[in-house]
Each structure stands twice: as structure tokens, then as C-alpha cells.
Structure 1
Amino acid sequence: MTTVAAGFEELYGAPPEGVWAAPGRVNLIGEYTDFNEGLVLPFALPHRTFAAVSRRFDGVLRLHSADMGGEVVTLRVDALEPLSGSGWSAYPAGVVWALREAGHAVTGADVHLSSAVPTGAGLSSSAALEVVTALALDELHGFGLGRPELARIAQRAENAFVGVPCGIMDQTASACCAEGHVLHLDTRDLSTRQVPFDLAPHGLALLVVNTRVKHTLGDGAYAARRAACEAGARQLGVGSLRDIPYARLPEALARLGSETVRHCVRHVVTDNERVERVVAYLAAGDPRAVGPVLTEGHASLRDDLRVSCAELDLAVTTSLEAGALGARMTGGGFGGSAIVLAEADAVDPVVASVRKAFTESGYTEPEFFPASPSAGAHRVHSG
């Protein structure tokens, strides 16, 4: 935080008006359900994106990333156009555009960013970047937006400005999560419930395995899955796949002719049911029972949705063989990270086994870190 404030002053010649932080997230269960008005269960990571920000009143937006390097990106707020840029700067610029489109008078800003959220790892680095920008501008200008509305602004920036058709989960998690809890989010009505998630008293730990396989959701594969889900809803005569009860899934699948559509529908309906099961296990004080549900979720993402990759599959299968209680890929897939639920004293053997398996397969060595539910976006320093 001190570093990003000092970097701002060096760049722009004056201290920032404030510094804000927004976290990346891990999704415990409920993947590709958020754009189907379904259920998700994410929590915030301690890894955060920091933004030092000051207002401008001349219509100029200046953006800089300590991580990406390069010169300050200078834009005019009244000239921002959707799909007109690429790279990291499109995300904060998109937030400014989305705020102005929603009637909030952003008159310019100086922004300096620094992030510890791994990029391309399925941990929502883009959502953290959007949410931290939205929160800073909201508080500096006194717009008075609530956290759900900030999440919607951030999602609109990614959907309409950047061009990635993501759902609302990542931005809501970054904006709304609470320390020590998973966020039970119903994406149909955006209602939320904080569910306690403290594994240590049960002798358990949750491990993130970043395969270091970079993914991108803007290359069409993610959009193709979304299109298949929407086609399934149309063919079944429902507003969204959320309307398909789990008990009637076989009947619904029998009405679908396309194998691709059928697989996508099956994944979404069953993952909604998995979210409900996990919440019930946590409420009953039985987090060990969550493990097999995670593994079921991975099989569905691998076989039905087909969004896994060899490195993710190896991380999951090796973790299970080494004694983990459950494991699955998390995030949009095509690379990124897996999560592993294990007994706390089994974490080191799991790490050693996965590292060895990656080496023997000729893959880049993965990154490992514990995942502890952390606080959502907040102001960390006032100028």
C-alpha cells in the first residue's frame, strides 16, 4: 500500500487522495452458473490489487500499472468507446465508461495500480482491477453506490467495454466477500449470504495450485459455452437454466438434440445442486464432506463442459492420489488454477506429489499457496 502511494506521487507529482484494495477470488463450487442465473460460492483471497487514485476535473484519465510497466496511458473520458482498446488498461477505462454510461459524472482521474493477484490463473485478477477502480471513483466522487451496484458496473465494463461475456460472480465476490466466510450468491436476484468457512478447527486446509497455464476468456471458447447454455434454455422453453429442477434433469436432457448443448445443460444444473449440497455440509459443520463434491465438479467441468486442460487434470488426479479429500479446477478454465481440500498434515505430501508429477510430465512448475477467506474491497489509506 505504501509502495503504490509512493509510486503514484513519483508518477504524478503529488500524493494520491487515497489508496483502495480489492481481492482476487477462489470459487469453491458453482462454475459457469452465474450467467445462467444460478448459484455460486466464492470467497476472497488475501491477494489484492491496490489502486492509488486522485480526481481530475479536465476530462483526462491517466492510468499506470506498476506490474505491466510502460508509460502512463492517457485517455479522454468523453472519447472512451467499447471494444476500442486491449490489454490491462481497458479494464479501468471500461469502469470509467460504465460509470458515465450509468449517469455518474466522472470528470477524469489519475490512477496508479499494483497487484498481487496472479494474472491468467483463474483467480479473477480482472475483476479485482475493475472493482478497485469502481470503489475508488465511487468514494472520491460521493456517488453513494452500494457494493452490488459497484459489482454490476464492473461487470458491465468487462462485458460491454472489454468484450468478455462474464457473469456477475467475480465482481460480486471482490466487492462483497467477508473475512472467514464464503459468499452464497444467488445470481438471479443477487441476494447474498455469508456462510462461515473456517477449516483450521477441523484440521483441514484448502490449497490453490496455480498451473501457470495462462488462460484467456476473450478467445471465444468461454463465449461458445455461454451460447450453448442460452440455446439450451431456449430449446427447453425457460428463461434460464436455473429454471430446470435437478430432479427433472433427465427429462430435460432427453428433449435436447445437440450433444454440446446437452452437456452444458447437464453441467449447469448439476453444479447448482452441488452448491446447495456444499452449503448444507458447511451449515452442518461437516466440511470434510465437501471434498467429494469438489471432485464431482471437476469431472463435470472436464467431461461435460470440456474447459479443463492436461495440467489441471494432472493437479487434481495427483492430489487425490496423494490423499486429498477433493480437488477441482476453479474459474473459467483452459488453464489457471485448481483447488485442493486436504487434511492440514497432508498438504506437504500433496504439494510434493503434484510438483513431482509436473516435473515428470515436462510441465512448468506450479505455484502453491493456502487459500484463506479474506475481506472484500475496501479503502486502505486516505490521502
Structure 2
Amino acid sequence: MKTTEIKEQVVSGKYDALIEDLYADPSLLDYQKQRYAGALDKYQTLFGDDEVSIYSAAGRSEISGNHTDHQHGCVLAGSINLDAIGIVSKQDHVIKVISDDFDIKPIDLNDLDKKENEIGTSEALIRGVVSKLKELGYNVGGFKAFITSDVLMGAGLSSSAAFESIIGTIIDGLYNDMKIDMVTIAKVGQYAENVYFGKPCGLMDQCACAVGGLISIDFKDTSNPIVNSVNVDFSKYDHSLCIVDTKGSHADLTDAYGAVPQEMKEVAHYFGKEVLREVDEDEFYANIANLRTALNNDRAILRAIHFFNENRRVNTIVERLNKDDFEGFKTLIQESGNSSYKFLQNVYADFDYKNQAVSLGLAMSEMILKDHGVCRVHGGGFAGTIQAFVENSYVETYKEEIEKVFGKGSCHILKVRKLGGCKVID
């Protein structure tokens, strides 16, 4: 259908049920209809009234498995109802994308080699995704697209992984009949980010954005991680996922982030292993005194303790959800957060101890929530965001009170959505 026809149908309500199902929140219906209509108008302004289709890829939130993936551990993550959407039509030989206000340079499909001058750019991500899909034997082709995203940048919700995933999903839909497995789309996104973009990220972000719903990922074999969907209808528990931006700066935190895997690997190396997943837990505890002498770093030992407990906790959380034990789930989420705070120690940087916005956010959240929810540090930590699972009936109270501390608009009320990368309207 042409952009004008799809817009008329969106505005008239033809896709209301589809939109409500995708975004898992009826209160967002009007917002999403306006958003889709605006994106269609923007496409038409840029490219004309073409025959188009609409694609989506979700943002993500890590739920448990904090800093375990780089030690080949287990992670539980979920796609959220913030996403990137793309208005797309086919064209020959060239991919032309305008992403919100970014006019991305055209990608010629006859030249998919890595470009040193594109490192760190959107062009690198597109070129890398298409190159890898072609190498894997999938059909690739040109398209023009307007992509807009409401995935928050810098909030640990994986805006870059959502972009990679939507590019892969568009190629899947236009040229492969949506037959590419979404884990493959995720791996392709990771490849693009690692090799073409130049960022050594893991696979968790891309998997959660592309696969959708709640997923557990076991990274024991990082080349072939085991990805399982946790078939739970999260909406039935009457809780929302709140992400609170505590306004802490990520500037100058590279060393703080880098020290986490480095120190965990120091412990592993003591046992002649590369990562903690390869270390026998009983042997680790039997050698605590020796480790203290050898490493002269108690924090490394505490971080290893976090890894062993957190890695085991992921599977227990999945068991609780499979047994419909949401209260048990919340208890374990709180335990996971406490472990990150006490043992992993990623709530503030020790060299900047006066700035503890995440710590303050957790303290205030516990006071506000009482028995109406649980909270924990979100994502990499040290600055940025916290996560809270809050009873739907208490969400507005929590939002109002926590925003008194961190400002209007700092609390984002989200839902776990069923789908990751998908074709929305053909």
C-alpha cells in the first residue's frame, strides 16, 4: 500500500488492535497512532507516496545476569515497548536511510567492505549487517527508509542494537520472506557492531531487541549461545517496568566499566582459566585466602562471588516465572540488585564517591515503593539508570515521587512486549 493509504487506515483505527498488542499498553494507542502517522508523512516528504511496508525492532532491558555475559554466563533480558520503526520501500542496489534527523550516507551494495573512515557511524552498522547477511547466503537488496526511534539513548536500553536489528529485519522482510531466524539477525547485528562499527559488545543486547519477549541466554559457548524464550505473559502480573534516569554522567567511566571483566578474569587466571564460567565454584571458595594473597584485591574476589551467585540466580528466576511465582521472581530481582550493589559494586565509581545518583535512586525507590515493588541498578551501572518492577496501581505514585528527586520525565513507564524484530504492516 502507499503511504497515504496506510496513514488513513492507521488514523481511522484499522490497526488499533495490532498496535495495542505490539506495545502491550492500551494507554499508548493514541501516541503510537500519531507516531506512525507522523513517520508516514515524513517518509512521503522525503521520498514520495510510495508502496511501503512498516517494520519494528524493540529496545531491551536486562532483568538479571548483571555483568555475567563477558564471563560466558547466563542472562535474562526482555524486549520493551520502546522501539525503532521504519517506513520502507524497495529500490535497486542502494540502501538510503534517514534516521530521525540523521541523513545517513547511501550504502552501495556493490561495495560492502569495511571502511576505516566509517568506524563509529550508522553507515558502518548498515554496511556490516548487509555484508554479513550476504556472506551467510541470504538475499540482500536495496531500500529507502525513514526510521524513527523512541528507544532512549544512554539509558541502557540498547538504541544501537535496535537500529542494527531493524536493518536486519527490513532485509529479512523485503528479500527473505521473514524466514531468517531472529537469533541470526542478532548475531549479524553484533558482527556489524564489533567489526564494522568498532565496539566490542556482547550478544545480549541484539538478542533481546531482535528475538523479543523474555529470553534467557546462556553464553557458555559464545559462538553459539543458547537462547530460550521464557513463555510467560508478563502483562498478567499487573506490574510495569519503570526505568529511572538518575542523571548521572557516563563520562570518564571507561576504566570503571573495564575493571569489572578485568578483575573477574584475574580470579579466573589464578585457576588457569580464561573466564569465571570455567572455574569450579567449590575450588574458588576453598582458595579465598590464597586469592587474597595472590591478587591483593578483595574487590575482585567479591565480584567473582557476585558472578557465581548471579549466574545461578538467572535459572532460578526463570523457574519462578515458569511456575507462575511472580512474588518469588520479585524477591530474586531484589537479591540480584543487592548482589550488584554489595559484591559487584557497580552503583558508583570509587574515584567519584561524591556522585552517587544510582545509590540515591535505589534508596529513594525502596522508601517510596515499600511493598509495592522492587528495584535494582540497571545495565552496566556506575551512572545512568535504575530499574523497578512496580504494581500498576502504584506506578503513578512512584513516578510522581521519584521525579521529585530526579526531575520531570526522568521515570519511564514501560512494558515487556512479545515481539522483537517484526514486520508490522505490509
Q: Are residue 331 (structure 1) and residue 363 (structure 2) matched?
A: no
Distance verdict in 2 for CA 1:105–1:285, change over 3 Å: closer
SS at match of 1:41: strand
1:128 to 149, 152, 162: 162
Q: 1:103: how far off?
A: 5.4
Please name the residue that 1:29 is paired with. Answer: 64
Q: Name the Cα RMSD after superposition.
A: 3.1
Q: How does 1:45-64 map to 2 (within 5 A)?
A: 45-58=80-93, 60-64=94-98
Letter matched to residue 404 of structure 2: K
**Map of 1:116 onto structure 2:** 150
Q: Does 1:161 align with 2:213?
A: no
Q: Is the alpha carbon distance of 1:245 and 1:267 closer, same or farther for their aligned partners in structure 2, counting shifts above 3 Å?
A: same
1:215-257 deviation digits (Å, cap 9, x = unpaired): 4899565444334444443332335322345555423655544
Measured after TM superposition, the shift of residue 157 of structure 1 is 1.2
Q: In the superposition, relative to structure 1, how do residues 139 and 365 fare at CA in structure 2: closer, same or farther (>3 Å)?
A: closer
Partner in structure 1 of residue 173 of structure 2: 139
1:55 Cα deviation from its structure 2 partner:
4.2
Residue aligned with 1:208, SS: strand
1:315 is aligned to 2:361: yes
Structure 1 residue 108 displacement after superposition: 4.2
How far is 1:127 from its partner? 1.0
CA distance in 1 between partners of 2:121 and 2:251 (Å): 11
> What is the TM-score with the length of structure 2 in the denominator?
0.76
User: 2:157 corresponds to which letter in structure 1?
Assistant: L
The structure 1 residue matched to 2:396, chosen from 324, 331, 348, is 348
Letter paired with 2:387:
I
CA offset at residue 171 of structure 1?
Answer: 0.9
Q: What SS is found at the alignment partner of 1:265?
A: helix
Residue 30 of structure 1 aligns to which amino acid in structure 2? Answer: G
Residue 105 of structure 1, CA deviation: 6.2
Match runs of 1:65-76 below 5 Å: 65-66=99-100, 69-76=101-108
Which amino acid letter does the alignment assign opposite residue 166 of structure 1? C
Supply the distance in 2 between the matched residues of 1:22 and 1:102 (Cα, whole angstroms): 21
Alpha-carbon distance between aligned partners in 2 of 1:294 and 1:44, rounded to the nearest angstrom: 17
Which of 326, 330, 340 aligns to 1:287? It is 326
Task: Report the CA distance shift for 1:282/1:230 in structure 2 as closer, same or farther (over 3 A).
Answer: same
Question: How has the CA–CA distance of structure 1 residues 297 and 253 changed in structure 2, closer, same or farther, with 3 Å as cutoff?
Answer: farther
- Call closer, same or farther: CA 1:319–1:142 in 2, change over 3 Å: same
Task: Give the CA deviation at 1:195.
Answer: 2.5
Q: Which has the larger radius of gyration?
A: 2
Aligned length: 372
Query: How far does residue 298 in structure 1 lie from its aligned partner after superposition?
Result: 2.5
Aligned to 1:376: 420
8 Å CA contact 2:246, 2:406 repeated in 1: no
Where structure 2 has 5 or more consecutive residues not aligned to the other structure, the ranges are 1-35, 349-355
The residue correspondences of 1:1-383 to structure 2 (distance < 5 A) are: 1-13=36-48, 15=50, 17-58=52-93, 60-66=94-100, 69-77=101-109, 78=111, 79-81=113-115, 84-100=118-134, 102=136, 104=138, 106=140, 108-142=142-176, 144-178=179-213, 182-188=214-220, 189-198=224-233, 201-202=236-237, 204-213=239-248, 215=250, 219=254, 221-238=256-273, 240-244=275-279, 246=281, 248-251=283-286, 253-254=288-289, 256=291, 257-258=294-295, 259=297, 261-309=300-348, 310-322=356-368, 323=370, 324-358=372-406, 366-382=410-426
What secondary structure does 2:229 align onto?
A: strand
Q: Deviations over 1:151-190 (max 9, x none)?
A: 1111111122222222111111111123xxx212222353
Greater shift, 38-47 or 349-358, is seen at 349-358
Given that 1:209 and 1:368 are in contact with CA atoms closer than 8 Å, whether structure 2 keeps it comes out as: yes
The answer for unaligned runs of 5 or more in structure 1 is: none
CA distance in 2, matches of 1:365, 1:80: 39
C-alpha distance after superposition, 1:80-111 (max 9, x if no partner): 42573334444334323433454556454433
Q: Give the direction of change, closer, same or farther, for the CA distance of 1:222–1:154 in structure 2 (3 Å limit).
A: farther
Q: What displacement does 1:21 show?
A: 0.3
User: Do the aligned partners of 2:232 and 2:322 also contact (CA within 8 Å) in 1?
Assistant: no
- Over residues 330-364 of structure 1, what are the superposed CA-to-partner deviations in whole Å (9 max), with x where a residue is unaligned? 222243332213344443333333223336xxxx7
Cα distance in 2, alignment partners of residues 15 and 220 from structure 1 = 49
